[in-house]
A and B are shown apart, each in its own frame.
Chain A
Amino acid sequence: MATKRYGMVIDLRKCVGCEACTVACKAENGVPLGHFRTWVQQVEVGTFPKVMRHFVPKLCNHCDDPACVSVCPTAASFKRSEDGIVLINQDHCIGCKYCMVACPYGVRYLDEEKGVVDKCTFCAHRVAEGIIPSCANTCIAGARIFGDLNDPESDIAKFVATHPVQQLKPEAGLGPNVYYVGLDKDFNAKLGNR
């Protein structure tokens, strides 16, 4: 394949909610206080005594047709054509927050100090050096698999081909490129509309 399509699989069967990814991401990317580019959402399912707590790591889904890119008035949000990573050109972002109200995944935040919107970049600076994003690198259970979905020989493509995988809010129709294993319908519904 000519172009890459970077994506991530998160195996919820392996996630224990330790938040090592959350911390590694903040350190790697210097994410401002009070904001996160990835985090672990906790979801409780069922009624007592049959209750269960699930952990759902969240991050930018680097969608095929991202809502943030279509609404951005200055074309500061863009999808990189060579590998599908969704990025923000900070020189062009005016901080109107239109992308933040358009994103169904709630993964964007306003960096008040810089006056621009920011979010997960799939650690594009690391990927450029041939190493995987910080969250996947640090995960204690190997629950995050990062790679090129268009390369049939990649770990992620092989995994997706052989496992039942789900996406968050596929009904939004944006073609998210973060896949989950074990995303139960019952608690998917509890994850909120955005």
Chain B
Amino acid sequence: MAAFEATPAETAGGHRATAQAGEPAIVLRGATKTYGEGDVAVRALRGVDLEIWPEEFVVLLGPSGSGKTTLLNLIGGIEPASAGEIVVAGNDVTELDEEGRTAFRRDTVGFIFQFFNLVPTLTALENVELVAELGRGADRSAEMLERVGLGDRMDHFPAQLSGGEQQRVAVARALAGGPRVLLGDEPTGALDLETGRTVLALLHELSHELDQTVLLVTHNASIARMADRVLRMRDGEIVADERNEVPAPAEQLEW
């Protein structure tokens, strides 16, 4: 594993700077999540400590049930933590109530889901506008779709798009609100290799252009090669935190 080092550094490819000198984009201290109570309590996260720096492209690996989606949900304010502290882009998520977390997700985070979760009755453009409408800034939905290469398919409904195209719409939707942090849950899980690589390349390129911090959760270890940093989870704990000195372009990934 010569390509990985234990400390953050400038990437050799130069396409991702990790401004470690500033404040971390994501900070977790003792983040814990327990489902259920008593005998049936399941500790999905066991006091995770983590810092992710602005503009880092991080891949979180782990087998099913290791707690990676739970970690993503806590960072994204989808679920409240049972204990610990989580600060994302300066927002202490653990201090937020339901309403506060909703606003936090709206203003700070963009999500990409494994199954795209496009609204079948809305066109590609409308699916992106659906999230853009929530934001306070200018509507960049059409621009985002252009950026993901779907400028000519804006008026198509999801059923008229391929899986890769649907996920590209989902990427555009995640970016449309101008989030500081982009969270992806198995974004290529439902895609074939070629399409998956295309989507990852696009995600990498756009997040870089838009100065966004990216955290992708996957069980696909091959994707780790394109990350600035790779986290590994097992049994609710981060068991490895490695820096990738020379991230590979998405096009070169194989799985």
Chain B associates with chain A: no
Which B positions have Cβ atoms within 8 angstroms of A? Answer: none
